[in-house]
Structure 1
Amino acid sequence: MSFQRVPGLVSVVVTVYNKLPYLTECLTSLLDQTYASWELILVDDASTDGSYEHAVNWLNVNEPALREGKGINLLRLPRNTGYAGAITAGMYLAKGEFIAIQDADDLSHPERLARQVRHLNHHPQIELLGTNYEVFEDGQPDRRMPVYWLKYGEQIGKVYAEGGHCICHGTVMFRGTVFDRIGGHTRRIEGAEDYEFIAKVIRSGARNVDNLREVLYYYRKHQQQRSRDYFGKSKKEHGHDA
């Protein structure tokens, strides 16, 4: 019997590795979504800072609101697998017609899921959709700055064909059938698993990818970001983090 995805459901995958200071804001931004049909898949990658216990407590406190048509899946991995392993594990649990990514230290606009689903429903040729976003320094959420490295429409495929990057991974929503067809993230390029996944979607024959021009995501800059270990001086060029 083939796997049947739930129509209209968005599976939001959040991976956590030692993100305790940011979890409440991240999860609250999801709880505040106007789109009703979504499930939370939170994968703790063997955190050592109490992130898992904090997530359990938060889910218990907010369970009544989350239970109103929303599924809760909390997975604690027995050992640290790295970003690619954690996010792919979460995608395997996703039941939704759509899969959305949310980084544990970032925030989503309340209309994010609704507007991405609406766009995907109105444009069946698009299989993966990012959004515009703004950046803020940790502790200064009201001082957000725009970004200028994103591309739109046909420009996106050209950028990735040349080895470039122009979709913010944390903003991505894609059709569950994409994961069913090509699988999730790999460890082939350590530190750039997000770039490789999007490039793989494009190469797989996805009919289209795009970015919404609306700002629907807020990206937090802080000293513990994973990509600082890999990109260093080229952060602005890559324009993304996890």
Structure 2
Amino acid sequence: MSYRRIRGLVSVVVPAYNSARYIRTCINSLVKQSYPHIEIIIVNDASSDRTANVIQNWKKSTGARLASRGRIAVAVLPRNTGFSGAITMGMFLSEGEFIAIQDADDLSHPDRFKKQVQFLRDHPEVGLVGTNYAAFKSGSFKNQEIANWIRFGNEIKETYAAGGHCICHGTIMFRGSIFDQIGGPTRRIEGAEDYEFIVRCIENGITVENLPDVLYYYRNHALQRSRKYFGKTEKKGRWK
């Protein structure tokens, strides 16, 4: 018997580790989505900062008023499982026909989910869709730089076949059936889990695409995960 997913529901998975500074604005960008049928799944990956307190305070002060826009669930892991572990846990908890990813320090455009859901409905042959995005330095949201490494159409498959990367992981939405079929990101390749997940989708015959619209805002800051693996000069947004 296959897992039955709720038609039209978008399950937004937000992995959060020591994200106290940014998690509140992240959640606010999700509850303000123009697409109404969502559930937000925050996976607190055993944070050692005030992430848990910030989420709890948000739920008390703002969550009650905005919770009508969608269900909000928080999973607190007893020990740190890492990026792929937290995301996979959120995917296991998801009930939606669609699963979206949102990094805890980033923001989504209000129409992001509406446009991605519509694209997947209009293109049943596509299983996963990302978007273009704009990067900004923390504290300077208006000074944005639009990404120039995102690719579209046939160029996507060609890029991955050549060992490249051209889909920003935080922007993706995919059919929940894909997770039920191939699982979540690997724990074998630390720092490139998102890359491996896209490659595995392609290897399993899943068509992937990007929207040219800037529907995601990528925050550059000193504590972001990518700096641990790729340093300060790594291409913006390739790995969070």
Q: Normalized against structure 2, the TM-score is what?
A: 0.97
Alignment of 1:148-167 (within 5 A): 148-167=148-167
Indicate if the aligned counterparts of 1:107 and 1:217 stay in contact, CA closer than 8 A: yes
Indicate if the aligned counterparts of 1:225 and 1:241 stay in contact, CA closer than 8 A: no
CA distance in 1, matches of 2:75, 2:29: 20
Q: In the alignment, which residue of structure 1 is the partner of 2:40?
A: 40
CA distance in 1, matches of 2:29, 2:108: 6
* Residue of 232, 237, 240 corresponding to 2:238: 240
Q: In the alignment, which residue of structure 1 is the partner of 2:111?
A: 111
CA distance in 1, matches of 2:222, 2:193: 20
Alignment of 1:65-144 (within 5 A): 65-68=65-68, 70-144=70-144
CA distance in 2, matches of 1:125, 1:156: 15
CA distance in 1, matches of 2:101, 2:83: 12
Q: In the alignment, which residue of structure 2 is the partner of 1:9?
A: 9
Alpha-carbon offset, residue 191 of structure 1: 0.6
Amino acid at match of 1:133: Y
Mark the runs of 5 or more structure 1 residues left unpaired by the alignment.
none
Deviations 1:167-218 (A, max 9, x none): 0000000000000000001111111111111111111111x11000000000
SS in 2 for 1:130: strand
Amino acid at match of 2:134: E
Alpha-carbon offset, residue 71 of structure 1: 1.6
CA distance in 2, matches of 1:163, 1:61: 46
Alpha-carbon offset, residue 234 of structure 1: 5.5
Mark the runs of 5 or more structure 2 residues left unpaired by the alignment.
none
SS in 1 for 2:70: coil
Indicate if the aligned counterparts of 1:127 and 1:209 stay in contact, CA closer than 8 A: yes
Indicate if the aligned counterparts of 1:135 and 1:147 stay in contact, CA closer than 8 A: yes
SS in 2 for 1:28: helix
Alpha-carbon offset, residue 138 of structure 1: 0.6
Indicate if the aligned counterparts of 2:151 and 2:210 stay in contact, CA closer than 8 A: yes
Deviations 1:29-87 (A, max 9, x none): 11110100000000000001110121122122233344325222100000001001000
Indicate if the aligned counterparts of 1:5 and 1:96 stay in contact, CA closer than 8 A: yes
Q: In the alignment, which residue of structure 1 is the partner of 2:209?
A: 210
Indicate if the aligned counterparts of 2:192 and 2:239 stay in contact, CA closer than 8 A: no
CA distance in 1, matches of 2:62, 2:231: 38
Q: In the alignment, which residue of structure 2 is the partner of 1:28?
A: 28
CA distance in 2, matches of 1:160, 1:233: 24
SS in 1 for 2:10: strand
Alpha-carbon offset, residue 233 of structure 1: 6.0
CA distance in 2, matches of 1:234, 1:126: 33
Deviations 1:3-35 (A, max 9, x none): 210000000000000011111111111111010
Alpha-carbon offset, residue 240 of structure 1: 2.2
Q: In the alignment, which residue of structure 2 is the partner of 1:177?
A: 177
Amino acid at match of 2:229: Y
Amino acid at match of 1:129: V
CA distance in 1, matches of 2:217, 2:176: 24
Q: How many residues align?
A: 240
Alpha-carbon offset, residue 241 of structure 1: 3.3
Amino acid at match of 2:215: L
Indicate if the aligned counterparts of 1:88 and 1:184 stay in contact, CA closer than 8 A: yes
Q: Normalized against structure 1, the TM-score is what?
A: 0.96
